[in-house]
Chain A
Amino acid sequence: MNAVIDRREFLKQTALATATAAAAGGAFSLPVLGGQEGASLKWNKAPCRFCGTGCHVMVGTENGRVVAIQGDQKADVNKGLLCVKGYHVGLALYGRDRLTTPMLRKDGRLVPISWDEAINTIAIRIAASPKTFALYGSGQWTVGEGFAGNKFMKAGLGSNQIDGNPRLCMSSAVTGFLSTFGVDEPPGVYDDLDACDVAIMWGNNMAEMHPVLFSRLVDRRSRGEKVTIIDFTTRRTRTSDLADHLLLFKPHGDLAIANGVAHLLIRNNSFDRAFVEKHCNFRQLGAKPDEKTPPDMLGVPMTFEEYARAVEPYTPEKVEELSGVPADKIRMLGEMFGRRDLKINSLWCMGMNQHTRGTAINCLVHGIHLLSGHFGKPGDAATSLTGQPSACGTVREVGTLCHLLPGGRLVANAEHRKEAEELWNVPEGRIAAKPGYHTIEMFKRFNTPTDQGGDITTLWVQVTNPSQTLPNLQRNFLEKKSLGDKFLIVSDVYPTATTELADLILPSAMWVEKNGMYGNSERRTQHWFKLVEPPGEARDDCWQLIAVSHKLLEMGVDGMKGRDGKWIFHTAEKSGREVPIWNWAHYYDVNVDERLFEEYRPFTTKKHKNLAPYQEYVKARGLRWPVVQQPDGSWRETRWRFSEFDDPFVAKGREFQFYHSVSKDDKALIWFRPHEFPPEMPDKDYPFWLCTGRVLEHWHSGSMTRRIPQLHRAVPRAYVEMNREDADRLGIRNSEVVTVKSRRGQIDLPVWIGGRGDPKSGEVFVPFFDETRLINLVTLDEYDPYSRQPDYKKCAVTIVRKG
């Protein structure tokens, strides 16, 4: 084609694309590529493998391979649009170094072994010492995998030593919801993005981390709608470029800002008195936790007057001093919250969760929404966004954390244990009453010699990469190398920093190589079918757990049998004939995923997180729970929880009802939590704040996205973003390699000045996707006392020029 024609053609296409965009309300997808629509190309739905947004993709397969990806027009979440990662998600399967055979470390070298030997090895380790065995899972576990893992540990081995990586990313959101509403997960949904007048990003770089949701928001502008975006952040990001108000704050200043809004709502008498009187109580912390007093999330009641006095000191001027945000901007925010005619949607992700006062800031943001009545109407919501595709669906809902049981139950609650034992059909008393170790504790104990209190000796890691993503890596994991009696099992799809430490590597099937279900940030449970075979001998993570369980049953290990004397994963055909699902050749004779899901469903009703039957999800592009059957037999999803107009569990005439209320009176709690300074702050020796995070093109530790050439070329390696003033002062040039050093460790990185993000003076930012430059050698492992979630966003470092 001639160059000019080419150019004209694309101008024409541009005009067309613009027209389509307008017609479809901004929702359109790029052309399908890579595959040719033909008889042999088949399209099936699946949620995207990567982030918690939970977009749906159409997966084109041909001759047993994924050959094309398209945004799913039928999906509510993304209406056909994907982000750059999503368009390439199919390539995540086809990196050349996929793990295809089990490998065992023998004399320091990894040698291929058979699956039989691998399963046997694990079973022998567990049988020898079941109480020092731990399972570390993931928000990328499917619902079925998480459920099987949880059952295997808690109802099988009678051990609560199971935790998951959402501890590192979501647990402060959980404690925030629990403290406020008495039940986890957001009351609102993504529809709030379409209806709000003001969207507030609380330390949330949505343009990069939840790009399709941010598109959904800013697209409204191209349709002539007005939506004001307020970007509260510690560094300028791509989100800031599209924000109406960029409000840069000092790390930890968010606590002061939220209290400042509460102060203004009360001082201006612009809070929603009727809503507060009818639907809210006030709380504050009780005794300060210390060695003897464990952190107590219930707190103590306070009156409205006490609350008003508590927020009294947070005048706009005081907030300016604490947060660095100008007092008039705090007033602007206070006025916005004071207006009933505006719909306000607060959004956050790791900025508020990876925070040593994560529970506090989550509670405070819920608090100002409740105080001002910006709650429970389309557009009025405070919503946390998840990083992983099934942090909600699997870990939070199925309860694969050391203190949880499925459906929002607690390990420490005798009644909850009893219910779980009944539903699982295991003998009473099987489930241990004491919670296991949370993530940091679990790894610390694995990383400590056994005779010095390191009472986790065998650790099985599935679908996650802790040797890259744990904070303060040396202390929390890397010592393992020198501890001969510790045994690390890693199930993964590619070699990672974690497989490097492994004693046994199990090759896993991923994404559409297996059946699965995920649950995204807006309570949407999503389903997909296996579409292609995994490579080599790679097998489902869920099968791996089941096979080990069966091996333990054969070895006569206590706990692998239920009340009826049958194996805990006993699966039978309609005729009653047992299906040997522990044998890979028969694993897909039945739909194990469906069986596990149907076993899980009855757990979900207790906390009104009702799920529909499996087959409903097969038909849908996800359904948001609670999903309740209608008189005509259909299943209806719920968008706004606790609001009478939409939530079927709210009694008629109540308008709002917090039916899992902590105070047991159907009211939500507005918490007072003071501003506090973080545990480590810059000083003369370590003068910079370090913040870590993701970039648009890479997903988490990069083990998938760094193998996709287009994404790798776009952002090939990690860097340290620096403010120009700081760089000039230190004589540092763009691209110069410097050492980023903390009290815990150091790494070398090239400097990027005026790059994608621009930190304030005195701050630096480093992305964590790059396996060759582990910023988590530098980060701090201090955590929130309630959620036990570490703070990856704030620690003190110094920048040292080399040579």
Chain B
Amino acid sequence: MAGEPRPSRRDFLRGRLGRAGAEPHPRPEAPAAPSSGSHGAAAPGALGGALPASPSPDRQVGPRRQVTLPVHRPPGAVHEAAFLAGCTRCNDCITVCPVDAIVLAPARFRHAAGTPMIDPYTSPCRMCTDIPCIAACKPGVLRSDQPLKMGVAYIERAACLAYAGSFCTVCSEQCPVPGAIELLSARPHIRPDICTGCGVCAYVCPAPSNAIVVMPLADRAGAPSNAGPELT
């Protein structure tokens, strides 16, 4: 799908995934109790940001940062320390998001609790073209000059239907970022350099055990808009 104009592709996704517009009738209902193949407890990485952070040489996280829980921030977020310092918890980004993708971080995020975040498994960011959340952010912790990258998705091949020999192409079809998920021999491959971590793939993955792991960016590049306190 490379070469697809971004706007129309995103519109399409919003049309298919968004809450606005005609709802299917009757609405498909979630099962009353967990059943086979449901997401639920078995889904890996239910919330990337909730993973206990232990030092990881690969990510070159400095020793002073080891208590940081990576939080899946909305697009265009500044450096986490600056974000925490600058975010006024005004909820404007939450109000303006047309698909209710932004929620308040729950208490287990401790110092980050009450700040805006995205839970891709419940409601992913749809990568709006006009990015209303950034436009609405008065304190400037979501900034249009920042990369839109929120994280990165991985395919857990052992759980992916396509890799198990059963055909599935849903993630690549619904991905709003052209080129981020390619089909090679009918199997999806995520390009981490292009993937923005919006989480749409995780949301739509129909595998019995969700095959997508979305990791929030632990270290967002980009300078703080104004110097925030060092995180300890």
CB distance from B205 to the nearest CB of A (A): 8
Output the nearest chain B residue to A535 by Cβ-Cβ distance: B32
| A157 contacts chain B at the CB level, 8 A cutoff | no
| B144 contacts chain A at the CB level, 8 A cutoff | no
Q: Which of B1-9, B79-87, B90-98 is the interface stretch? A: B1-9
Q: Is the CB of B166 within 8 A of A752?
A: no
**Cα A6 to Cα B48 with chains together (Å):** 11
Q: Is the CB of B33 within 8 A of A94?
A: yes
**Cα A98 to Cα B123 with chains together (Å):** 27
Q: A750-B15, A771-B24, A772-B22 are in contact. Are A710 and B34 (CB under 8 A)?
A: no
| B40 contacts chain A at the CB level, 8 A cutoff | yes
Report chain A residues within 8 Å CB of B12. 734-735, 750, 752
Q: A2-B56, A6-B213, A66-B35 are in contact. Are A219 and B165 (CB under 8 A)?
A: yes
Q: Is the CB of B209 within 8 A of A33?
A: yes
The 8 Å CB contact of A214, one of B167, B173, B207, is B167
Q: A4-B56, A33-B42, A750-B12 are in contact. Are A710 and B165 (CB under 8 A)?
A: no
Report chain B residues within 8 Å CB of A14. 156-158, 163
Report chain B residues within 8 Å CB of A21. 165
Q: Is the CB of B25 within 8 A of A771?
A: yes
Report chain A residues within 8 Å CB of B139. none
| B89 contacts chain A at the CB level, 8 A cutoff | no
Report chain B residues within 8 Å CB of A94. 31-33, 35
Q: Is the CB of B37 within 8 A of A33?
A: yes
Q: Which of A295-303, A645-653, A711-719 is the interface stretch? A: A711-719
Q: Is the CB of A735 within 8 A of B35?
A: no
The 8 Å CB contact of A713, one of B9, B165, B203, is B203
Q: Is the CB of A10 within 8 A of B156?
A: yes
Q: Is the CB of B166 within 8 A of A211?
A: yes
Contact with B along A713-728 (1 / 0, CB 8 A): 1111101000000000
Q: Is the CB of B56 within 8 A of A3?
A: yes
Q: Is the CB of B165 within 8 A of A97?
A: no
Q: Is the CB of B59 within 8 A of A735?
A: no
The 8 Å CB contact of B165, one of A26, A84, A707, is A26
**Cα A403 to Cα B192 with chains together (Å):** 60
The 8 Å CB contact of A710, one of B9, B26, B206, is B206
CB distance from A110 to the nearest CB of B (A): 14
Q: A28-B165, A495-B26, A755-B173 are in contact. Are A90 and B9 (CB under 8 A)?
A: no
A residues 23-76 near B (Cβ < 8 Å) are 26-35, 60, 65-70
| A708 contacts chain B at the CB level, 8 A cutoff | yes
Report chain A residues within 8 Å CB of B215. 3
Q: Is the CB of B167 within 8 A of A83?
A: yes
| B186 contacts chain A at the CB level, 8 A cutoff | yes
Report chain B residues within 8 Å CB of A96. 29-32
| B221 contacts chain A at the CB level, 8 A cutoff | no
| B169 contacts chain A at the CB level, 8 A cutoff | yes
Q: Is the CB of A207 within 8 A of B167?
A: yes
| A783 contacts chain B at the CB level, 8 A cutoff | no
- How many chain B residues touch A (CB < 8 A): the figure is 69
Q: Is the CB of B26 within 8 A of A97?
A: yes
- Most chain A CB within a 10 A radius of its CB, from B15, B17, B158, B170: B158
Q: Is the CB of A84 within 8 A of B58?
A: no
| A627 contacts chain B at the CB level, 8 A cutoff | no
Report chain A residues within 8 Å CB of B26. 97, 494-495
Q: Is the CB of B170 within 8 A of A715?
A: yes
Report chain A residues within 8 Å CB of B165. 21, 26-28, 81, 215, 219
The 8 Å CB contact of A69, one of B31, B36, B164, B207, is B36
Q: Is the CB of A34 within 8 A of B34?
A: yes
| A16 contacts chain B at the CB level, 8 A cutoff | yes
Q: Is the CB of B9 within 8 A of A734?
A: yes
Output the nearest chain B residue to A86 by Cβ-Cβ distance: B166
Q: Is the CB of B11 within 8 A of A82?
A: no
Q: Is the CB of A30 within 8 A of B186?
A: no
Q: Is the CB of A10 within 8 A of B51?
A: no
Report chain A residues within 8 Å CB of B186. 207, 238, 241-242
Q: A26-B165, A67-B35 are in contact. Are A712 and B24 (CB under 8 A)?
A: yes
- Most chain A CB within a 10 A radius of its CB, from B26, B204, B208: B208
Report chain A residues within 8 Å CB of B30. 96, 709
**Cα A495 to Cα B27 with chains together (Å):** 11
Q: Is the CB of A215 within 8 A of B4?
A: no
Contact with B along A690-712 (1 / 0, CB 8 A): 00000011000000001111111
Output the nearest chain A residue to B40 by Cβ-Cβ distance: A34
Q: Is the CB of A91 within 8 A of B35?
A: yes
Q: Is the CB of B204 within 8 A of A91?
A: no
| A273 contacts chain B at the CB level, 8 A cutoff | no
The 8 Å CB contact of A34, one of B36, B48, B159, is B36
Q: Is the CB of B167 within 8 A of A88?
A: no
**Cα A752 to Cα B4 with chains together (Å):** 11
CB distance from B121 to the nearest CB of A (A): 11
**Cα A13 to Cα B155 with chains together (Å):** 12
CB distance from B42 to the nearest CB of A (A): 5
Contact with A along B173-213 (1 / 0, CB 8 A): 11000000001011000000000000000011111110001
| B104 contacts chain A at the CB level, 8 A cutoff | no
| A87 contacts chain B at the CB level, 8 A cutoff | yes
Output the nearest chain A residue to B218 by Cβ-Cβ distance: A3
Q: A94-B32, A707-B29, A735-B11 are in contact. Are A82 and B166 (CB under 8 A)?
A: yes
Q: A30-B209, A215-B165, A750-B16 are in contact. Are A90 and B170 (CB under 8 A)?
A: no
Q: Is the CB of A713 within 8 A of B161?
A: no
Report chain B residues within 8 Å CB of A679. none
A residues 661-710 near B (Cβ < 8 Å) are 696-697, 706-710
Q: A30-B208, A713-B203, A750-B12 are in contact. Are A7 and B36 (CB under 8 A)?
A: no
**Cα A65 to Cα B52 with chains together (Å):** 35
Q: Is the CB of B157 within 8 A of A208?
A: no
| B44 contacts chain A at the CB level, 8 A cutoff | yes
Report chain A residues within 8 Å CB of B58. 4
Q: Is the CB of B204 within 8 A of A208?
A: no
Q: Is the CB of A707 within 8 A of B166?
A: no
| A163 contacts chain B at the CB level, 8 A cutoff | no
Q: A6-B45, A91-B36 are in contact. Are A735 and B15 (CB under 8 A)?
A: yes
Q: Is the CB of B168 within 8 A of A84?
A: yes
| B154 contacts chain A at the CB level, 8 A cutoff | yes
Q: Is the CB of B25 within 8 A of A772?
A: yes
| B226 contacts chain A at the CB level, 8 A cutoff | no
B residues 47-85 near A (Cβ < 8 Å) are 48, 51-54, 56, 58-59
Contact with B along A729-755 (1 / 0, CB 8 A): 000011111000000000000101111
| A1 contacts chain B at the CB level, 8 A cutoff | yes
Q: Is the CB of B159 within 8 A of A30?
A: yes
Report chain A residues within 8 Å CB of B44. 6, 10
Output the nearest chain B residue to A727 by Cβ-Cβ distance: B8
**Cα A696 to Cα B207 with chains together (Å):** 13
- Most chain B CB within a 10 A radius of its CB, from A81, A717, A770: A717
Q: Is the CB of B22 within 8 A of A90?
A: no
Q: A33-B36, A712-B24 are in contact. Are A81 and B164 (CB under 8 A)?
A: yes
| B146 contacts chain A at the CB level, 8 A cutoff | no
| A17 contacts chain B at the CB level, 8 A cutoff | yes
- Most chain A CB within a 10 A radius of its CB, from B28, B48, B154: B28
CB distance from A246 to the nearest CB of B (A): 14
Q: 9 A-B pairs, CB-CB below 8 angstroms?
A: A3-B218, A14-B156, A34-B37, A81-B165, A215-B165, A242-B185, A710-B38, A737-B15, A754-B1
In addition to A6-B213, A10-B156, A733-B8, 16 A-B residue pairs with Cβ atoms within 8 Å of each other are A27-B165, A33-B208, A34-B35, A34-B42, A35-B36, A84-B207, A88-B36, A91-B36, A95-B29, A706-B28, A709-B30, A710-B207, A712-B28, A715-B170, A716-B24, A752-B12
B→A interface (CB under 8 Å): 1, 4-5, 8-9, 11-17, 22, 24-26, 28-40, 42, 44-45, 48, 51-54, 56, 58-59, 154, 156-159, 161, 163-170, 173-174, 183, 185-186, 203-209, 213, 215, 218
The 6 closest A-B pairs by CB, nearest first: A735-B12, A96-B29, A13-B158, A34-B36, A734-B8, A14-B157
